[in-house]
Chains A and B, each alone.
Chain A
Amino acid sequence: MDVTVAEYIRRTVLKIPRDEIKTVLQKWGFLSEAQLQSINFRQMKENTAQEVVQLCEENSADIRQAAVLDVIYNHIYADKRMWSVYQMNKTGEEMEVFCLTDFKKKIKRRLQSALKNVTITFREYEHNAIWIRIAWGTPYTKPNQYKTSYVVYHSQTPYVFISTSVYKSNLPLLCQALVVASNYHDIREMELRSRSLNSLKDIVFKRYSQNFQTYCPRPLQDRNVAPESADPRIIHENRNEKERIQRVNQEVFGDGPQPKLEFAQYKLETMFRSDPKMDVLDKKEPFRCLVKFSSPHLLEALKSLAPAGMADAPLSPLLTCIPQKARNYFRIREKKGLLPGNFVSP
């Protein structure tokens, strides 16, 4: 077995939390059950990793199997990477039938004809998700397995989720290959980024709970029915206001859990509005300013602002439009003439 492959497998195993190593190896399926039983998973990770490499040596692992292990790791720990969303367009009306085998062939052909040295690995997951792992090389060097790009694509949708590491220069080639293989015409990056791949999917595939008005017999949810105070002497003075806030919040955010985003960024190119007497930054140029909201779970935080009393309800539409507009990067320019409100550029 190649020394680089052994090292790569060793480093991949070291990334996995100790208690999960066995599960991941089982999913990989490259080592037999008997071999897995022979590993002591309770020792220090460094030693476990050594044992795994030893067994892979016995089974003559090559880079292809090692790549599969990497895909499995990244699928489970997808939130360790930052994912961007790309949107493809097609102008034709004909319905192309998506065939998985053709798709894989086309991607391979495109990438390998441009760059002889690439390692391409495909793996399918549920809901028709296709994971593609690409390790990039150059015409003169072998692929660097530590600088990989990951692509997640659901067939017959115009959205591609890409996580690249450093080599951004290969991005145009990758995008072109995707467009051709999926029968689209062009591709552009959306202003939507997050570590939570599933949340990005929820937003563009519209799987998050939007509050539609229906007569559907949905199961009635107990919407925060506060237990009737046991003590009748307690009067909630602003009960009406509280209820109004709840209602408005529910209309805007819906009932279910929000997609998980870590930040929203607003680039302001508006004029600074001040008292003319103060003479701060005359109206000659826009005051450039960048506002960034960060949170472990931004949308849930925004949802809880009004009920917590920290903001007025309804919140600014600039904040609440994030899932619907499928973006968390905004550029706000000065309104000109008849345009209502600030012009949010695409």
Chain B
Amino acid sequence: GVLAHLEMLEMQAHEAAVKQQEVKQQEEKLARLKARVQELRLQRDELRAKVDLQQKGQLGKEGGVSDPAQPSARAVLEWKIKSLKAMLRIFYLTGISSKLTKQGVCFTISTAYEGTYLDSYHLDLLTQPEVRIQRHSVPTFIPLEQIAKKYLQTDIRRFMSVLSDHLNAYVGRRYQADQLQEHFSDQIEGALQRNSLCNLLVFNYNVSSQSKTFLFNARLLYGDLCSILPTEVVISCTPDAPASLAETAGAHSDLFRRMALHKAFRSFRSTEKNVA
């Protein structure tokens, strides 16, 4: 009858309530687990970051749950290699570096001119029974045999220093001549006459005075092979040039003797701008 029906409804309601509670519990559990997963993920990322930092050799003090620890053996080795490479690079940058070989030493002279690194030259030296050059990559117009005859047996340091001076001066002179040809070709008339050692330069260049251009001829002789400045400068003008230009020629001659060639030409440009 009715009571049985009521009982049945009650039971149903009860079951429904239980189910509902179960679902709720499931949902809560799910939410909790999700939160837990987030937490763990965060922790994992933190630990990963810490490990990365450690491997890079940096010991941070932030949030140290794990200890800053001993850097791994691998990290130490890498650091050693890095600082050795830096040391060798420093030696290379000083211009003269060397390496022991089976039979002697190999020297490397790296040349530079005012901050620009230029060519490198090598010498393989044998040390037994006496010091001599086995092979080298020094250009043939550098008086290597002469320098070796003077210093190689008695004072290797002096030998390397003198050779380095010759080579650095040669690349410096060559650099100036190249710069002149590259950047001031509009002022140079005709070809720039030079030689292998770049110790004799002859060229014609334009000089403007009172809105007329005159041709000057310059002859620069670099008597000292270890110097980047000329020892003798002769500047001559064409016969039709006014007498006032003689003074300019003298001034130019002075300038070439004191200053690098391309810098001298740069200063011409600026003075011309000032005058004009």
* Chain A residues within 8 Å of B, Cβ to Cβ: 93, 95, 97-101, 124, 127-128, 154-159, 204-207, 210, 212-217, 324
Contact = CB atoms under 8 A, between A and B. Distances in A.
B140 A212 contact: no
Nearest to A323: B135
B250 interface: no
B200 A210 contact: no
Contacts of A98: 195-197, 200
Interface in B198-240: 199-200, 202, 221, 223, 225
Interface stretch (B21-29, B46-54, B84-92, B259-267): B84-92
A155 B202 CA distance: 15
Contacts of B120: 214, 216
B221 A214 contact: no
A97 B108 contact: no
Contacts of A97: 195, 199-200, 221, 223
Given A128-B194, A156-B196, A206 B143 contact: no
A333 B106 CA distance: 33
Contacts of A93: 146
Contacts of B199: 97
Contacts of A210: 122, 135, 137
11 contacts: A95-B143, A98-B195, A100-B195, A127-B196, A155-B141, A156-B197, A204-B140, A205-B140, A207-B137, A213-B106, A324-B135
B193 interface: yes
A204 B139 CA distance: 9
A176 to B, nearest CB: 22
B176 interface: no
B106 A99 contact: no
Nearest to B102: A213
Interface centre among B92, B108, B120, B140 (most CB of A within 10 A): B140
Nearest to A98: B195
Contact of B97 (A154, A159, A205, A215): A215
B122 A124 contact: no
Nearest to B232: A97
Interface residues of B, number: 34
Q: What does DSSP make chain A's interface, helix, strand, loop or mixed?
A: loop
A154 B195 CA distance: 8
Nearest to A100: B193
A324 B99 CA distance: 21
A129 B185 CA distance: 21
Given A128-B194, A157-B140, A212 B122 contact: yes
Given A206-B136, A206-B137, A212-B106, A128 B195 contact: yes
Interface in B125-146: 135-141, 143, 146
A215 B92 contact: yes
B164 interface: no
B124 A212 contact: yes
A156 B97 CA distance: 28
Nearest to A159: B140
Interface string B110-125: 1000000000101010
A157 to B, nearest CB: 4
Nearest to A103: B195
A254 B166 CA distance: 27
A87 to B, nearest CB: 10
B191 interface: yes
B101 interface: yes
A18 to B, nearest CB: 31
Contacts of A205: 139-140
A155 B200 CA distance: 11
Interface in B242-256: none
Contacts of A95: 143, 225
B209 to A, nearest CB: 28
Contacts of A324: 135
A97 B137 CA distance: 23
